[in-house]
Structure 1
Amino acid sequence: MFHGKDALGIVGTKPKDGSHRAFKYLCAFSDYDPKGIVAIAELFDGSVTETTQELIEELRKDYPIDIVIVDGEFYKAEFIKYLIDAKINFVTRRTDTGNIRELHIPYNKPYLYAKDVERKDGRIIHLKYWLYRYKGKDGDFYLASNMCKNARDMRKLYKTRWHIETGFREVNRVKIKTTTRDFLVRLFFYIVSCIIYNLWQKIRFRYSMFTVRFVEIIAAVKEYIQTSLFDAFDIMMNRRLRHIRLRFW
């Protein structure tokens, strides 16, 4: 959260700790071992879906993307149309609007949904994908996907996105704290925190069967850095040309 005068990179967000403004970043998280953050983008204007689309296009240059998993905040007709046209598998939470409820979609079965969305400028966006309806603690909810799967498998697939909450908390644990209003400095510190998180993920994956002392962790980090071929890794310290499953927060 941000307190004080306006600064570059500040956007509106949910009220917390006496403020409704914050520096906001978009992170792409790969779900395959070794798991890690593969990209970060700033959200100057808060345009989440447009920035996500641009980020995916950049990632596709280095990674074959198997699937994109996002929550309801990312649901927008233009973004869904982009994923469909790009033939990228996706699953997202679908907004529970009146026209969806009127369809009386059966529970736990894929429903082929087709809709023409008209924008104010006259553009028509043709959408066609599968809808899944489920019973939740707070009422019914819907998932949208261009994949026709068993409803239980689809729900299980979407739940994998929740793992990013754990990753986000771990990044915050190692985040470098600063009071500077300089956006670039804050972005640099956040990227460093994400790189530390990625290195820790790789070390933990490698030594998962052992109890690792702190000195051993440091030694492993040094060895990893010394033996890494930098042209085989991207800026987030992830090896290129691997298939990845993306989740965004």
Structure 2
Amino acid sequence: MNKNYSLLIESLFKRLQTIGVKTGTVYLDREFFNTDVIPKLDELKVNFVIAVKSTQVINRELKNHQKEYGNTSTIFEYQFQKGGPSFNVVAIYNDEKKKYLLFATNKKAESIEKFEKMIPEEYRKRWNIETGYRVKNEFKIRSCTKSPVARLLFFIIQCIMYNVLNMLKSVLKITAYELKSLINEDINKVVRYGLKSLNFIPVSVLLDCLRWVNEERNRVLRTRLTII
């Protein structure tokens, strides 16, 4: 079954507009580097950074660049078809991998140096989202229930646990597995000995403690840098 990427993008931005979400720049995987998505984004006047699938035209452009300038980064204008929207392909040479990292963008930059720094850093924001989904799934509550209320509740708990883990990671070295194990131990304590067996700390007090620890850590680091 073929995907209608143009309709998908149009529907997505209509929905975002309906719920009042403003869009700055969209970061998309290489699957969206095609003749449906980029013209639609251009039509909607949306800035984009998209990982690029290499094509014969792109490979030829890179080979010509390498012959003249060696293994250096470059930017060149590209369009899928005559009359279609043009955009920049940013080719950043990775010395470790010995290959080009390719991105398509309609964003403006004054020089290739700024593009080299800006585009990969911006695109890396996508990985934060994907990492979030991966880690969040470590708290997934498996259920066969078809109740939308129950499934929504499980999802909310999943998100809360992910946020708690991130909060604790600011001061502790802890994994999702360790956090779940501690929660399991506390549940067993409550079942056996009641709620009084737990040491309750108000959330506001916990947040104040975390804030103090982070501030103290920053103060110590600044002091060390001053000494150096």
Task: Report the TM-score when normalising by structure 2.
Answer: 0.56
Structure 1 counterpart of 2:33, from 75, 78, 101: 75
Q: Deviations over 1:117-158 (max 9, x none)?
A: 6xxxxxxx7121111002242632310011023222111111
Task: Trace 1:1-249 onto structure 2 (pairs within 5 A).
Answer: 47=3, 49=5, 50-61=7-18, 62-104=20-62, 106=65, 107-116=72-81, 126-136=84-94, 137=97, 139-149=99-109, 150=114, 151-178=116-143, 189=151, 192=153, 194-199=155-160
Question: Cα offset for 1:108?
Answer: 2.9
- Structure 1 or 2: more helix by fraction: 2
Question: Cα offset for 1:197?
Answer: 4.9
Q: Distance in 2 between matches of 1:139 and 1:113?
A: 20
Q: Distance in 2 between matches of 1:162 and 1:54?
A: 24
Q: Is the 8 A contact 1:94 1:144 kept in 2?
A: yes
SS state at 1:87 partner = coil
Q: Deviations over 1:47-74 (max 9, x none)?
A: 3734344223201231111111111122
Q: Distance in 2 between matches of 1:132 and 1:216?
A: 51
Question: Cα offset for 1:192?
Answer: 4.8
Task: In structure 1, list runs of 5 or more residues that go unmatched.
Answer: 1-44, 118-124, 221-249
Q: Is the 8 A contact 2:135 2:162 kept in 1?
A: no
Task: In structure 2, list runs of 5 or more residues that go unmatched.
Answer: 66-71, 173-181, 184-199, 205-228
Question: Cα offset for 1:113?
Answer: 1.9
With 195-204 and 130-139 compared, the bigger mean Cα shift is at 195-204
Q: Distance in 2 between matches of 1:48 and 1:138?
A: 35
Question: Cα offset for 1:195?
Answer: 3.5
Question: Cα offset for 1:207?
Answer: 8.3
Measured on the aligned residues, the alpha-carbon RMSD in Å equals 3.7
Q: Distance in 1 between matches of 2:118 and 2:43?
A: 24
Q: Which has the higher contact order (CA 8 A, sep 6+)?
A: 1
Q: Deviations over 1:20-50 (max 9, x none)?
A: xxxxxxxxxxxxxxxxxxxxxxxxx673734
Partner in structure 1 of residue 208 of structure 2: none
Q: Distance in 2 between matches of 1:206 and 1:179?
A: 30
Taking a change above 3 Å as real, the CA distance of residues 207 and 179 of structure 1, as seen in their structure-2 partners, is closer
Q: Distance in 2 between matches of 1:133 and 1:188?
A: 47
Q: Is the 8 A contact 2:136 2:159 kept in 1?
A: no
Greater C-alpha radius of gyration: 2
Task: Report the TM-score when normalising by structure 1.
Answer: 0.52
SS state at 1:144 partner = strand
Paired letter, 1:155: P
Question: Cα offset for 1:102?
Answer: 1.3
Q: Distance in 2 between matches of 1:47 and 1:216?
A: 51
**Percent identical:** 20
Q: Distance in 2 between matches of 1:173 and 1:108?
A: 39
